[in-house]
Structure formats: structure tokens, C-alpha cells
């Protein structure tokens, strides 16, 4: 009896809910650690040092150095920190746009619903990368341009999800009773709709984040984002392409792995949050 109970303890402790919470926690710890390290880092850490250029990975320089002797470890952390900051801001703005449009389409209906659906179809009908480049170019490139491009192109799918959730709640009796009591559609949305669509909204925000980081890096890599003097993962990877064929593999591998780790962690966190907050999976 005692052996059986002891053997089940690890399984009970490391259940599905704890695994999900661990994955989500690890993703946010990684994000906060990189963001804080990049913001507090002195520029001297990744400054120019021609005497150490093209140094292979070693104890002094774990990620090696680039063609200017800049430490790739600290430069990658600073670059990923900039990418995370852009991704977080763009995800927040894009998710708020999706929430506002989705609720407006579901509650107002008619012309408003058709207009929102038309905007969604229009945005999704244009190739995403081309739309990102066009918006970034029109906004003057740089940090402002790439942030605006990512923020203005990641709302359509979340808008559809919010609209679908709101349509299911719109016909509920308590919502209809609120209308009869004289409340406006905005009050109904704030008091009844937002709390109900909040789980879907939060999952959408988390899943938007890795896409925002990847697209910021892609636009910067193609030369329409951050300028070369600002450390960013896209800039680092773009510069490494000129030297990777000469055997300087570390200039692309380590920054790429850091970006991949951030994207995969938050993608896993979003999928796990979906399982945790989905009532249909509560008994699995």
C-alpha cells in the first residue's frame, strides 16, 4: 500500500496543470530576464574592439565576436531585448485593435459587421511580409516603422476569434435584459462581453507575441526595420550572412538559437494556456 502511494506521488505532483504552468512561467521568466538584461546593459559590453575581431567562441566570448570585435553574447542579448520590446508593444496594440473591432462587429452588426469583415479579408488577402514592408517603409523604417507595421498587421485572426465569441454571448438573456434596462452597446460590451471573451483574448495576445518577434526580425533582416547601428536580431543575422560562408558560423547560429528559443517558448506557452483555459479540456 505504501509503495503504491509513494510511486504515484511524482505523477500526481507533475500533473498536466503543473506542466502548463511551468511552461508559461518559463516563457515569461525568459522574456523578463532578457528584457531586463538588455535594458540595464552598458553599451561597453558590446562595444567595438578591433583587436578581438572574429574570435571563435571561448570562455571570454561564449558566442564569439563579429567583424568589429563586438561580443556576440552581449550583442545578441541586447538585440533580442529590442526585438522583445517591439514584439510586446506591437502585440498589445494589435490585440486592442482586435478586441475593439471584434466586439463592435458582433454587437453593432449590419454595416459595422460587414465593414470589419471586409477589413479582415483585405488585410489577410495581401501577403503578410509585403504588407509589413510597405507599412514600415511608409512610416520611415527604423524602430517606429517596424513597430507600426507589426502592430497594424497582426489583428485580423484575433478579431475573428473575438467576434465569434461575442456572437455566442450576444443572444444570452442577461445581455438582452441589459439592453431593456437602457444600457448602451458600449456598456454591454464593457460589463458583459469583455469578461466572457477575456480567456480567448489573453491566449491570442500570447500567441501574437512570437509572430510579432519573428516578423520584426524578418523585416529588419531585409533592411526595412532597425538601422545597422542599433543592435537587433535581424541586423545581427543580416550582417552574419556576409561572413558565414568564410567559416564564421557563430555569428548566425547563436543569435538565431536565442530568437528560436524565445519564439518556441511563447508558442508553447500560448498552446498550453489554450488547453488550460478551454473548458472542453478541463477533464483531460
Cβ contact 262:35 at 8 Å = no
Q: What is the pLDDT of residues 217-254, one digit of tens each?
A: 889 898 888 888 888 888 899 888 888 888 889 888 99
- In three-state secondary structure terms, 71 is strand
Contact 71, 45 (CB under 8 A): yes
**What pLDDT was estimated at residue 6?**
47
Per residue in 164-189, pLDDT (tens digit) is 888 888 777 887 787 788 777 778 88
Q: Please check the confidence at residue 99 and state whether its pLDDT lies above 80.
A: yes
> Computed over its alpha carbons, how large is the radius of gyration of the chain?
23
Name the residue ranges covered by the structural domains of the chain.
Answer: 17-40+64-281
Neighbours of 244 (CB within 10 A): 15
The dihedrals phi and psi of 264, each to the nearest 5 degrees, come to -70, -35
Q: How far apart, in whole angstroms, are the C-alpha atoms of residue 146 and residue 150?
A: 6
The answer to whether 80 and 38 are in contact (CB under 8 A) is yes
CATH code 3.90.180.10 for 17-40+64-281: no
> Which phi and psi angles does 71 have, rounded to 5°?
-65, 120
The pLDDT of residue 74: 92
| Mean pLDDT, the chain, whole residue set | 83
The stretch 34-60 carries a mean pLDDT of 87
Amino acid at each position: 500500500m505504501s509503495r503504491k502511494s509513494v510511486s504515484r506521488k511524482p505523477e500526481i505532483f507533475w500533473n498536466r496543470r503543473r506542466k502548463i504552468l511551468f511552461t508559461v512561467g518559463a516563457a515569461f521568466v525568459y522574456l523578463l530576464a532578457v528584457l531586463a538584461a538588455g535594458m540595464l546593459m552598458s553599451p561597453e559590453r558590446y562595444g567595438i574592439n578591433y583587436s578581438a575581431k572574429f574570435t571563435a567562441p571561448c570562455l571570454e566570448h561564449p558566442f564569439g565576436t563579429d567583424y568589429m570585435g563586438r561580443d556576440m553574447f552581449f550583442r545578441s542579448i541586447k538585440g533580442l531585448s529590442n526585438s522583445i520590446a517591439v514584439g510586446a508593444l506591437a502585440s498589445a496594440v494589435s490585440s486592442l485593435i482586435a478586441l475593439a473591432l471584434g466586439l463592435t462587429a458582433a454587437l453593432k452588426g449590419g454595416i459595422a459587421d460587414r465593414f470589419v469583415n471586409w477589413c479582415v479579408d483585405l488585410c489577410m488577402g495581401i501577403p503578410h511580409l509585403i504588407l509589413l514592408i510597405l507599412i514600415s517603409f511608409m512610416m520611415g523604417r527604423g524602430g517606429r516603422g517596424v513597430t507600426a507595421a507589426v502592430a497594424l498587421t497582426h489583428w485580423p485572426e484575433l478579431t475573428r476569434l473575438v467576434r465569434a465569441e461575442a456572437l455566442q454571448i450576444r443572444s444570452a438573456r442577461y445581455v438582452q435584459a441589459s439592453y431593456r434596462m437602457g444600457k448602451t452597446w458600449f456598456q454591454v460590451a464593457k460589463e458583459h462581453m469583455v469578461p466572457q471573451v477575456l480567456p480567448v483574448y489573453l491566449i491570442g495576445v500570447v500567441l501574437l507575441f512570437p509572430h510579432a518577434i519573428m516578423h520584426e526580425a524578418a523585416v529588419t533582416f531585409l533592411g526595412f526595420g532597425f538601422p545597422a547601428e542599433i543592435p537587433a536580431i535581424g541586423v545581427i543575422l543580416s550582417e552574419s550572412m556576409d561572413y558565414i560562408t568564410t567559416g564564421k558560423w557563430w555569428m548566425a547560429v547563436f543569435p538565431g538559437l536565442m530568437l528560436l528559443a524565445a519564439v518556441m517558448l511563447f508558442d508553447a506557452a500560448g498552446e498550453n494556456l489554450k488547453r488550460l483555459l478551454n473548458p472542453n479540456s478541463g477533464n483531460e
